[in-house]
Amino acid sequence: MIARSFLVRPARTGDVPAIELLVKTLELNKSILDDVEKYIEARRDPNGTPVQAFVAEVLNQIVGISVIRNEMDIEYIRAHYNIEDFIYFSHYQQEEHGHLYHFALNPIFHHYAKHFMKEILRLAHKSCLYYPIYPQPEEGKLVLQFQNPCAHSLTSALHYMVPVRPRRQIVYPLTKLGINAPSKEVSKDQVGNRSSKQAKGIAPAKCRIWQMG
């Protein structure tokens, strides 16, 4: 009976109190609620990136929440990770690549996490979801953590995603190449060509992918 009642649908304004209750104990609960609010108010970020939020509902009770965005750095991901070990990149449109920001599910319904993810892909019209894992220094060591200023919340579905190996990177002589240099999406991690966040050492070190199938 519960299996038939597990429904996934786009979030609505009236879901906010139940979402707040669901995520109140999570460390990144404010980030989740802020992103849900962006979806409800405008369906996109201030910079124009589309945002989608989905809830899992059982017997009229919200038991899960997920927020995704369009993956805007797909050329960077393609250049830095072996995603073509898993997908035929040329077979996908740009808008079919999604970025998983938040995924929280009541532990009682943890065994529905895979179904929840499949429904998110179907409803969002995505074929792949990407999730970055950021490094964070701790006591002189580089430790992979989720809870840092650039990380996203993911409490229930990481083990359903496949880790993607990083590519060996070519260090391009950008100044010498001039107009023949590769695009910024490909070379932006090189020394002297980094954003402020990347220069601080918080560019994603690992990536995971979930593919429709």
pLDDT in tens, 79-138: 888 887 777 777 878 889 999 999 999 999 999 999 999 999 999 999 988 888 766 555
Q: How many domains does the structure of the chain reveal?
A: 1
Phi/psi of residue 203, nearest 5 degrees? -70, 150
pLDDT band with cut points at 50, 70 and 90 for residue 155 = low
193, pLDDT greater than 60: no
Residue 30 DSSP class: H
Q: What is the 3-state secondary structure (H, E, C) of 44-108?
A: ECCCCCEEEEEEEEECCEEEEEEEEEECCCHHHHHHHECHHHCCCHHHCCHHHEEEEEEEEECHH
Structure tokens at 72: 């805007």
- Give pLDDT, residue 64: 95
60, pLDDT greater than 70: yes
142, pLDDT greater than 70: no
213, pLDDT greater than 70: no
H or E stretch covering 209: strand 206-211
- Under 8 Å CB-to-CB from 64, ≥6 apart: which residues? 8, 22, 55, 56, 103, 104, 105, 106, 109, 112, 116, 156
What is the crossing angle of helices 16-23 and 29-42, to 10°?
160
* Range of the structural domain that residue 128 is part of: 2-211
- Give pLDDT, residue 80: 82
Q: What is the pLDDT of residues 8-43, one digit of tens each?
A: 999 999 999 999 999 999 888 999 999 999 999 999
Percent of the chain at pLDDT exceeding 70: 68
CATH number of domain containing 59 = 3.40.630
**What's the mean per-residue pLDDT of the chain?**
78
